[in-house]
Amino acid sequence: MKVRKAVIPVAGLGTRVLPASKAIPKEMMPVVDKPVIQYVVEEAVAAGIKEIILVTRTGKSAIEDHFDAHYELEAELARKNKTALLAAIQHIVPPDVSIVSVRQAEAKGLGHAVHCAASAVGDEPFVVILPDVLVSNGLDKTNDLARMISEFESNAAAQIMVGEVPDDKVQLYGIADCEGIVPGLGQSATIKGLVEKPAQNESPSNLAVIGRYVLPGKIMGLLAEGKPGAGGEIQLTDAIDVLLAEQPVEAYKMMGETYDCGEKLGYLKANIAYGLQHSETANGLKEFISTLTSTHE
Ligand code: G1P
Protein backbone atom coordinates (compact mmCIF):
# COMPACT_ATOMS: atom_id res chain seq x y z
CA MET A 1 0.00 0.00 0.00
CA LYS A 2 1.33 3.47 -0.91
CA VAL A 3 2.45 5.76 1.90
CA ARG A 4 0.75 9.14 1.35
CA LYS A 5 0.30 10.62 4.82
CA ALA A 6 2.64 12.13 7.39
CA VAL A 7 1.86 12.89 11.02
CA ILE A 8 3.97 15.68 12.49
CA PRO A 9 3.46 16.20 16.24
CA VAL A 10 4.00 19.89 17.01
CA ALA A 11 2.26 20.11 20.38
CA GLY A 12 5.45 20.03 22.50
CA LEU A 13 6.11 22.90 24.90
CA GLY A 14 9.73 23.45 23.81
CA THR A 15 11.09 23.60 27.34
CA ARG A 16 14.66 22.86 26.18
CA VAL A 17 14.79 26.10 24.18
CA LEU A 18 13.12 28.47 26.65
CA PRO A 19 12.90 31.43 26.90
CA ALA A 20 13.11 31.59 23.05
CA SER A 21 10.00 29.40 22.71
CA LYS A 22 7.84 31.16 25.31
CA ALA A 23 5.65 33.14 22.88
CA ILE A 24 6.51 31.44 19.57
CA PRO A 25 6.37 27.73 18.81
CA LYS A 26 9.86 26.19 18.83
CA GLU A 27 9.04 24.78 15.38
CA MET A 28 8.89 28.39 14.08
CA MET A 29 12.45 29.21 15.13
CA PRO A 30 14.43 29.94 11.95
CA VAL A 31 17.38 28.04 10.58
CA VAL A 32 18.95 30.69 8.30
CA ASP A 33 15.78 31.95 6.56
CA LYS A 34 13.13 29.26 7.07
CA PRO A 35 11.44 27.98 10.21
CA VAL A 36 12.43 24.46 11.28
CA ILE A 37 8.92 23.16 10.48
CA GLN A 38 9.28 24.23 6.84
CA TYR A 39 12.39 22.06 6.34
CA VAL A 40 10.54 19.11 7.83
CA VAL A 41 7.45 19.61 5.66
CA GLU A 42 9.68 19.99 2.57
CA GLU A 43 11.41 16.72 3.53
CA ALA A 44 8.02 14.96 3.61
CA VAL A 45 7.02 16.48 0.25
CA ALA A 46 10.38 15.46 -1.31
CA ALA A 47 9.67 11.89 -0.13
CA GLY A 48 6.31 11.90 -1.97
CA ILE A 49 3.92 12.62 0.93
CA LYS A 50 0.60 14.19 -0.17
CA GLU A 51 -1.19 14.83 3.12
CA ILE A 52 0.39 16.31 6.21
CA ILE A 53 -1.39 16.07 9.55
CA LEU A 54 -0.09 18.48 12.18
CA VAL A 55 -0.88 17.52 15.77
CA THR A 56 -1.05 20.91 17.42
CA ARG A 57 -2.20 22.70 20.57
CA THR A 58 -3.19 26.10 21.83
CA GLY A 59 -0.54 28.78 21.22
CA LYS A 60 0.81 27.10 18.09
CA SER A 61 -1.33 28.70 15.37
CA ALA A 62 1.71 30.46 13.83
CA ILE A 63 2.61 27.06 12.35
CA GLU A 64 -0.70 26.77 10.48
CA ASP A 65 -0.49 30.44 9.41
CA HIS A 66 2.96 29.83 7.94
CA PHE A 67 1.53 27.37 5.42
CA ASP A 68 -1.55 29.48 4.66
CA ALA A 69 -1.95 32.34 2.15
CA HIS A 70 -1.03 35.86 3.37
CA TYR A 71 -2.92 38.11 0.93
CA GLU A 72 -1.70 41.46 2.23
CA LEU A 73 1.97 40.45 2.11
CA GLU A 74 1.50 38.84 -1.32
CA ALA A 75 -0.16 41.99 -2.73
CA GLU A 76 2.61 44.17 -1.33
CA LEU A 77 5.42 41.99 -2.72
CA ALA A 78 3.64 41.83 -6.12
CA ARG A 79 3.23 45.64 -6.15
CA LYS A 80 6.97 46.04 -5.47
CA ASN A 81 7.88 43.42 -8.11
CA LYS A 82 9.68 41.27 -5.54
CA THR A 83 8.96 38.12 -7.51
CA ALA A 84 11.51 35.80 -5.89
CA LEU A 85 10.27 36.60 -2.38
CA LEU A 86 6.67 36.31 -3.54
CA ALA A 87 7.33 32.82 -4.94
CA ALA A 88 9.13 31.85 -1.71
CA ILE A 89 6.11 32.63 0.45
CA GLN A 90 3.43 31.48 -2.02
CA HIS A 91 4.64 28.00 -2.91
CA ILE A 92 5.81 26.47 0.34
CA VAL A 93 3.93 23.28 -0.45
CA PRO A 94 2.85 22.23 -3.97
CA PRO A 95 -0.89 22.43 -4.79
CA ASP A 96 -1.33 18.64 -4.67
CA VAL A 97 -0.19 18.50 -1.03
CA SER A 98 -2.68 19.31 1.73
CA ILE A 99 -2.02 20.27 5.32
CA VAL A 100 -4.61 19.63 8.00
CA SER A 101 -4.39 19.90 11.75
CA VAL A 102 -5.80 18.06 14.73
CA ARG A 103 -5.46 18.97 18.39
CA GLN A 104 -3.77 17.31 21.31
CA ALA A 105 -5.56 18.80 24.31
CA GLU A 106 -3.34 17.22 26.98
CA ALA A 107 0.43 16.61 26.94
CA LYS A 108 0.37 12.84 27.47
CA GLY A 109 3.38 11.88 25.38
CA LEU A 110 4.43 11.18 21.80
CA GLY A 111 2.32 8.02 21.49
CA HIS A 112 -0.76 9.93 22.59
CA ALA A 113 0.04 12.78 20.15
CA VAL A 114 0.30 10.36 17.22
CA HIS A 115 -2.95 8.70 18.26
CA CYS A 116 -4.70 12.10 18.10
CA ALA A 117 -4.28 11.79 14.29
CA ALA A 118 -5.99 8.37 14.17
CA SER A 119 -9.16 9.43 12.37
CA ALA A 120 -7.21 11.56 9.86
CA VAL A 121 -4.89 8.62 9.10
CA GLY A 122 -7.60 5.91 8.92
CA ASP A 123 -6.17 2.45 8.20
CA GLU A 124 -3.46 3.66 5.78
CA PRO A 125 0.25 3.33 6.47
CA PHE A 126 1.84 6.66 7.38
CA VAL A 127 5.06 8.30 8.40
CA VAL A 128 5.77 10.08 11.67
CA ILE A 129 8.24 12.95 11.55
CA LEU A 130 9.52 14.53 14.77
CA PRO A 131 9.92 18.20 13.88
CA ASP A 132 12.87 18.93 16.19
CA VAL A 133 15.16 16.80 14.09
CA LEU A 134 16.54 18.13 10.80
CA VAL A 135 18.11 15.58 8.45
CA SER A 136 20.83 17.01 6.19
CA ASN A 137 19.64 15.18 3.03
CA GLY A 138 15.99 16.12 3.74
CA LEU A 139 15.42 18.18 0.60
CA ASP A 140 16.72 15.50 -1.82
CA LYS A 141 14.19 13.29 -3.59
CA THR A 142 16.23 10.29 -2.41
CA ASN A 143 16.31 11.42 1.22
CA ASP A 144 16.35 8.91 4.06
CA LEU A 145 12.58 9.16 4.47
CA ALA A 146 12.00 8.32 0.77
CA ARG A 147 14.28 5.28 1.13
CA MET A 148 12.38 4.12 4.21
CA ILE A 149 9.06 4.49 2.38
CA SER A 150 10.31 2.50 -0.60
CA GLU A 151 11.58 -0.27 1.72
CA PHE A 152 8.17 -0.40 3.44
CA GLU A 153 6.33 -0.45 0.11
CA SER A 154 8.44 -3.38 -1.08
CA ASN A 155 8.42 -5.62 2.03
CA ALA A 156 5.65 -4.21 4.33
CA ALA A 157 8.08 -4.08 7.29
CA ALA A 158 7.66 -0.94 9.43
CA GLN A 159 10.80 1.22 9.23
CA ILE A 160 12.31 3.08 12.17
CA MET A 161 15.19 5.43 11.41
CA VAL A 162 18.19 4.87 13.68
CA GLY A 163 21.66 6.27 14.15
CA GLU A 164 24.47 5.30 16.51
CA VAL A 165 24.84 7.47 19.62
CA PRO A 166 27.57 7.47 22.30
CA ASP A 167 26.93 5.00 25.15
CA ASP A 168 26.35 7.79 27.67
CA LYS A 169 23.50 9.24 25.55
CA VAL A 170 21.28 6.12 25.20
CA GLN A 171 19.01 7.23 28.07
CA LEU A 172 17.81 10.16 25.89
CA TYR A 173 16.40 7.95 23.09
CA GLY A 174 14.33 4.99 22.06
CA ILE A 175 16.88 2.18 21.54
CA ALA A 176 16.58 -0.74 19.10
CA ASP A 177 17.65 -4.31 19.84
CA CYS A 178 18.80 -5.85 16.55
CA GLU A 179 20.57 -8.77 18.30
CA GLY A 180 24.01 -7.26 17.75
CA ILE A 181 23.48 -6.51 14.04
CA VAL A 182 24.30 -2.96 12.92
CA PRO A 183 22.70 -2.23 9.52
CA GLY A 184 24.94 -0.55 6.92
CA LEU A 185 24.20 3.06 5.91
CA GLY A 186 20.89 3.19 4.06
CA GLN A 187 20.17 -0.46 4.99
CA SER A 188 17.62 -2.03 7.31
CA ALA A 189 17.86 -4.83 9.91
CA THR A 190 15.10 -6.62 11.83
CA ILE A 191 14.32 -5.20 15.27
CA LYS A 192 13.69 -7.76 18.03
CA GLY A 193 12.82 -5.23 20.73
CA LEU A 194 12.54 -1.49 21.26
CA VAL A 195 12.94 0.26 24.61
CA GLU A 196 12.37 3.90 25.51
CA LYS A 197 15.19 5.71 27.31
CA PRO A 198 16.97 2.72 28.90
CA ALA A 199 19.63 3.17 31.57
CA GLN A 200 23.12 2.91 30.05
CA ASN A 201 23.85 -0.46 31.70
CA GLU A 202 20.53 -1.93 30.50
CA SER A 203 20.59 -0.66 26.92
CA PRO A 204 20.44 -3.40 24.26
CA SER A 205 22.59 -1.34 21.82
CA ASN A 206 23.48 2.22 20.91
CA LEU A 207 21.14 2.28 17.87
CA ALA A 208 18.94 5.26 18.72
CA VAL A 209 15.58 6.12 17.18
CA ILE A 210 16.12 9.44 15.38
CA GLY A 211 12.66 10.78 14.69
CA ARG A 212 11.44 9.25 11.41
CA TYR A 213 9.06 6.28 11.31
CA VAL A 214 7.06 4.46 8.61
CA LEU A 215 4.23 2.62 10.33
CA PRO A 216 1.19 0.55 9.37
CA GLY A 217 -2.25 2.03 10.21
CA LYS A 218 -2.81 -0.69 12.81
CA ILE A 219 -0.31 0.99 15.19
CA MET A 220 -3.20 3.36 16.03
CA GLY A 221 -5.11 0.49 17.69
CA LEU A 222 -2.03 -0.38 19.76
CA LEU A 223 -1.61 3.27 20.78
CA ALA A 224 -5.26 3.41 21.87
CA GLU A 225 -4.49 0.60 24.33
CA GLY A 226 -1.16 2.19 25.36
CA LYS A 227 -0.35 2.53 29.07
CA PRO A 228 1.95 5.23 30.43
CA GLY A 229 5.61 4.19 30.09
CA ALA A 230 8.92 6.08 30.51
CA GLY A 231 8.35 9.48 32.14
CA GLY A 232 4.69 8.57 32.81
CA GLU A 233 3.88 9.25 29.13
CA ILE A 234 2.22 7.12 26.44
CA GLN A 235 5.22 6.20 24.32
CA LEU A 236 5.24 5.49 20.57
CA THR A 237 8.27 3.25 21.25
CA ASP A 238 6.16 0.96 23.51
CA ALA A 239 3.43 0.53 20.85
CA ILE A 240 6.09 -0.34 18.23
CA ASP A 241 7.54 -2.89 20.67
CA VAL A 242 4.10 -4.56 20.76
CA LEU A 243 3.77 -4.27 16.95
CA LEU A 244 7.02 -6.15 16.33
CA ALA A 245 5.59 -9.27 17.95
CA GLU A 246 2.86 -9.19 15.26
CA GLN A 247 4.74 -8.14 12.12
CA PRO A 248 8.27 -7.28 10.91
CA VAL A 249 9.72 -3.98 12.08
CA GLU A 250 13.13 -2.86 10.79
CA ALA A 251 15.78 -0.38 11.92
CA TYR A 252 16.82 1.77 8.95
CA LYS A 253 20.30 3.25 9.42
CA MET A 254 20.22 6.85 8.27
CA MET A 255 22.69 8.24 5.72
CA GLY A 256 22.27 11.96 6.50
CA GLU A 257 23.52 14.02 9.42
CA THR A 258 20.97 15.09 12.04
CA TYR A 259 20.58 18.28 13.99
CA ASP A 260 18.34 18.37 17.06
CA CYS A 261 16.84 21.85 16.87
CA GLY A 262 14.84 21.20 20.05
CA GLU A 263 17.97 21.92 22.09
CA LYS A 264 20.35 24.87 22.03
CA LEU A 265 23.57 23.33 20.74
CA GLY A 266 21.86 21.31 17.99
CA TYR A 267 19.96 24.42 16.88
CA LEU A 268 23.18 26.45 16.66
CA LYS A 269 24.92 23.68 14.73
CA ALA A 270 22.00 23.54 12.26
CA ASN A 271 22.23 27.27 11.66
CA ILE A 272 25.97 27.03 10.97
CA ALA A 273 25.72 23.93 8.75
CA TYR A 274 22.79 25.30 6.71
CA GLY A 275 24.27 28.82 6.69
CA LEU A 276 27.47 27.42 5.13
CA GLN A 277 25.34 26.05 2.28
CA HIS A 278 23.08 29.02 1.64
CA SER A 279 24.15 31.17 -1.33
CA GLU A 280 23.46 34.45 0.53
CA THR A 281 25.34 33.56 3.71
CA ALA A 282 27.99 30.90 2.87
CA ASN A 283 30.95 33.20 2.08
CA GLY A 284 30.33 35.72 4.84
CA LEU A 285 29.83 32.97 7.42
CA LYS A 286 33.02 31.13 6.34
CA GLU A 287 35.00 34.36 6.77
CA PHE A 288 33.40 35.02 10.15
CA ILE A 289 34.18 31.49 11.40
CA SER A 290 37.82 31.79 10.32
CA THR A 291 38.13 35.12 12.16
CA LEU A 292 36.66 33.52 15.26
CA THR A 293 38.94 30.48 15.14
CA SER A 294 42.06 32.60 14.50
CA THR A 295 41.30 34.92 17.46
CA HIS A 296 40.72 31.88 19.72
CA GLU A 297 43.93 30.04 18.80
C1 G1P B 1 11.35 11.00 21.33
C2 G1P B 1 11.08 9.50 21.28
C3 G1P B 1 12.40 8.73 21.33
C4 G1P B 1 13.30 9.20 20.21
C5 G1P B 1 13.51 10.72 20.29
C6 G1P B 1 14.28 11.21 19.07
O7 G1P B 1 11.85 11.32 22.62
O8 G1P B 1 10.23 9.13 22.35
O9 G1P B 1 12.15 7.35 21.20
O10 G1P B 1 14.55 8.53 20.28
O11 G1P B 1 12.25 11.41 20.32
O12 G1P B 1 14.53 12.58 19.15
P13 G1P B 1 11.91 12.85 23.17
O14 G1P B 1 13.17 13.44 22.56
O15 G1P B 1 10.67 13.52 22.72
O16 G1P B 1 12.02 12.72 24.65
CA of 1 to the centre of ligand 1 (A): 27
Residue 198 lies in a domain: yes
Residue 272 lies in a domain: no
Pick from 252, 16, 219: which is nearest to 122 by CA? 219
What pTM does this model have?
0.94
Residue 266 lies in a domain: no
User: From CA 90, how far away is CA 274, in angstroms rounded?
Assistant: 22
- Domain hosting residue 255, numbered range: 5-259
Residue 88 lies in a domain: yes
- Across 11-26, average pLDDT: 88
Provide the domain count of the chain: 1
Q: Which of 172, 206, 240 to mutate to test the pocket of ligand 1 (most atoms within 8 A of CB)?
A: 172
DSSP 188-241: EEE-SEEEES--GGG-S-SEEEEEEEEE-TTHHHHHHTPPP-GGGS--HHHHHH
pLDDT beyond 80 at 138: yes
CA of 44 to the centre of ligand 1 (A): 19
pLDDT tens by residue, 36-79: 999 999 999 999 999 999 999 998 999 999 999 899 999 999 99
Residue nearest atom 10 in ligand 1 by C-alpha distance: 173
What's residue 296's pLDDT?
A: 63
CATH code of the domain in which 175 resides? 3.90.550.10
What's residue 297's pLDDT?
A: 61
Q: Which of 130, 194, 267 to mutate to test the pocket of ligand 1 (most atoms within 8 A of CB)?
A: 130
Closest ligand 1 atom to the C-alpha of 262?
14
What's residue 2's pLDDT?
A: 93
Residue 45 lies in a domain: yes
Q: How far is CA 106 from CA 63, 112, 120, 193, 282, in A?
A: 19, 9, 18, 28, 42
Residue 279 lies in a domain: no
Residue 183 lies in a domain: yes
- Across 200-213, average pLDDT: 96
- Across 118-124, average pLDDT: 96
Closest ligand 1 atom to the C-alpha of 230?
8
Residue 219 lies in a domain: yes
Going by their DSSP bridges, the two strands 133-135 and 193-196 should be labelled as unpaired
